[in-house]
Structure 1
Amino acid sequence: MERKSIINFGITTGNYSSFVSQIVTLAHHKESANVCVANVHMFIEAYKDQSFNQVINDATMVTPDGKPLTWVLRYVYGIRQDRVAGMDLLPDLLQQMMLKKLPAFFYGGTPALLEKTEHYLRYAFPDLPIAGMYSPPFRPATREEEDKLVEKINNSGAAVVLVILGCPKQEKWMASMKGRINAVMIGVGGALPVMVGMQKRAPAWLQHLGLEWLFRLMQEPRRLFKRYVITNSLFIYLFFKKIFKVHGPRRLEMRN
């Protein structure tokens, strides 16, 4: 699948179904691969941290989760890119994995989240093979613990590892495990709690307007206010800077 660069941040392009099918193909062959589900927050984290930017650019696939990223692709490259949001990708991928009997391993999150996930999967995806679940301690793992985890996941038969550590921790963890874990790793820290009902998702009309972040801000204002004010403001600045550089001040209208 082709990638397009936005200020040195490579985003994989293609229609929505091609992302699902490509991940399933990688999982079927037990490829050691990492998939980053990119939104504006991840984009800005990568912009500020060159080493993290390299982590993203070295990933097997980077899906355009955030609606604003699809807008940039449309303005800069004229691509009508589907949004590939983690909250849509996760259940669709699990459905395909269930049909093809591809085992899933859930790594990260709290014990309460994993318990909720286990109950949810029993009725939503009853025939999905569960290779295992593990909630790591809130501290860096020792080398011995890391080696045991790799062995545990590889011996479980997992084809896909769903990683629930949050950005940028989960992306860095997947990068460190690429070549060691024989499965496709996908960062779903923001999607899993929504899928299992522990958090609510924004209404469809807010998603369409690219304002899903506003809904999340209203849910957790204290935790997210500073992040979104700084992140979104910087993204808007970089977005218009890129547009002016590519098209000039007279080309700000949306391409048809």
Structure 2
Amino acid sequence: MTLERQSVPFLDVDATPLTVSQLTAVLGTFVAEGGTRFVVGHNLHSVTLLHSEPTFRSFYANADVVLIDGAPVLWLWAKTGEEDDGRAPVMDYRLGSTDWIPALGNVQGLERIAVIGAGSVANAGAVAKLQQIVPGARVDGMPGEGWNCDVEETAVEWLSRLRPQLVLLGLGMPLQEQVLARRLAALPPAVYCTVGGAIEQIAGVQKLAPRWIGRLGLEWAWRLMLHPQRVAYRVFGEPWVLLGLLLRRRLPQLRRQP
């Protein structure tokens, strides 16, 4: 199954804009087909990494689905469409992990889920929550704290024994993407979804922003209020880094213009 990529102006990236119902249908198709698939998301942090790290860029280029997570990415993508082109409301295409994980019960044929990441309490909480979301499915968890080469090897062996259909990998960006890229040959077939800090949020360990705040594109402010030391650089510093990277990409093009 091949999904159409769409360009996001100015940011020089592309994405696979989907609504929640469209994504669950796609996941159902992936589960039925078997094989290895990757579902990732784009926000300004991932765009910055894509333009600064070739390995990260290559991983995203080969991902099967690139959801739109961050509001700035969504707003820029929305500029590419006409109001009467049949799209759903623009905000319906903003899919952070906590927007679509609660809908996993609608994925046809989903019977085995693995959750990797976060501390032991949060991981266990997310496993319990997913058992409620997908009744009848087997959900197994493995904490991701203290991640190193030995833990990574153990995780690969654990997945190989379980043979899950869907893996939620929440190690933070870019570690989770790096793990998938370097372990590709050893991983069992499954749909691998990078979910960042969503494991803690689904478990209720980290307070989730009200959905109306997310739909206004102000979730960054919520996170800044709750975790200022963790989020401040991404909010106030990283956009300037990204701007510099984008300008550097455009300078050679501008110099070639008559």
Superposition TM-score, scaled by structure 1 size: 0.80
Residues 149/219 of structure 1: CA separation in 2 closer, same or farther (3 Å cut)? closer
Q: 1-side partners of 2:51 and 2:167: how far apart? A: 27
Q: 1-side partners of 2:6 and 2:216: how far apart? A: 23
Q: 2-side partners of 1:83 and 1:159: how far apart? A: 24
Aligned to 1:249: none
**2:4 aligned to 2, 14, 30, which one?**
2
Q: What per-residue deviation string (whole Å, max 9, x for no partner) do you get for residues 134-169 of structure 1?
A: 224624314x962x5434313313101110101111
Aligned to 1:207: 214
Aligned to 1:247: none
Q: 2-side partners of 1:101 and 1:13: how far apart? A: 22
Q: What per-residue deviation string (whole Å, max 9, x for no partner) do you get for residues 169-209 of structure 1?
A: 11221223335321110011222221221122223332122
Instruction: Give the AA of the match of 1:135.
Output: P
Q: What per-residue deviation string (whole Å, max 9, x for no partner) do you get for residues 69-96 of structure 1?
A: 1211112455755222211111112x13
For residue 217 of structure 1, report the CA deviation from its aligned partner. Answer: 0.6
Aligned to 2:165: 159
Q: What per-residue deviation string (whole Å, max 9, x for no partner) do you get for residues 30-49 of structure 1?
A: 22111112222211222222
Matches within 5 A, 1:7-22: 7-22=11-26
For residue 68 of structure 1, report the CA deviation from its aligned partner. Answer: 1.7
Please, which runs of 5 or more residues in structure 1 have no aligned partner? 243-256
CA contact (8 A) 1:90 1:188 kept: no
Report SS of the residue matched to 2:192: strand
State the superposition RMSD in angstroms: 2.9
Aligned to 2:236: 229
Identity %: 25
Moved more, 150-159 or 219-228: 150-159
Q: 2-side partners of 1:204 and 1:134: how far apart? A: 28
Aligned to 1:169: 175
Aligned to 2:149: 141
Report SS of the residue matched to 1:100: coil
**1:54 aligned to 31, 48, 58, which one?**
58
Aligned to 2:106: 96
Superposition TM-score, scaled by structure 2 size: 0.79
Residues 89/124 of structure 1: CA separation in 2 closer, same or farther (3 Å cut)? closer
Q: 2-side partners of 1:205 and 1:101: how far apart? A: 29
Instruction: Give the AA of the match of 1:140.
Output: N
Between Structure 1 and Structure 2, how many residues are aligned? 237
Aligned to 2:204: 197
**1:83 aligned to 74, 94, 98, which one?**
94
Q: 1-side partners of 2:217 and 2:191: how far apart? A: 28
Residues 160/56 of structure 1: CA separation in 2 closer, same or farther (3 Å cut)? same
Report SS of the residue matched to 2:99: helix
CA contact (8 A) 1:35 1:184 kept: yes
Please, which runs of 5 or more residues in structure 2 have no aligned partner? 250-258
CA contact (8 A) 1:40 1:232 kept: yes
For residue 235 of structure 1, report the CA deviation from its aligned partner. Answer: 5.5
Residues 224/149 of structure 1: CA separation in 2 closer, same or farther (3 Å cut)? closer
Moved more, 121-130 or 64-73: 121-130
Aligned to 1:184: 191
Q: 1-side partners of 2:100 and 2:222: how far apart? A: 20
Residues 101/208 of structure 1: CA separation in 2 closer, same or farther (3 Å cut)? closer
CA contact (8 A) 2:123 2:200 kept: no
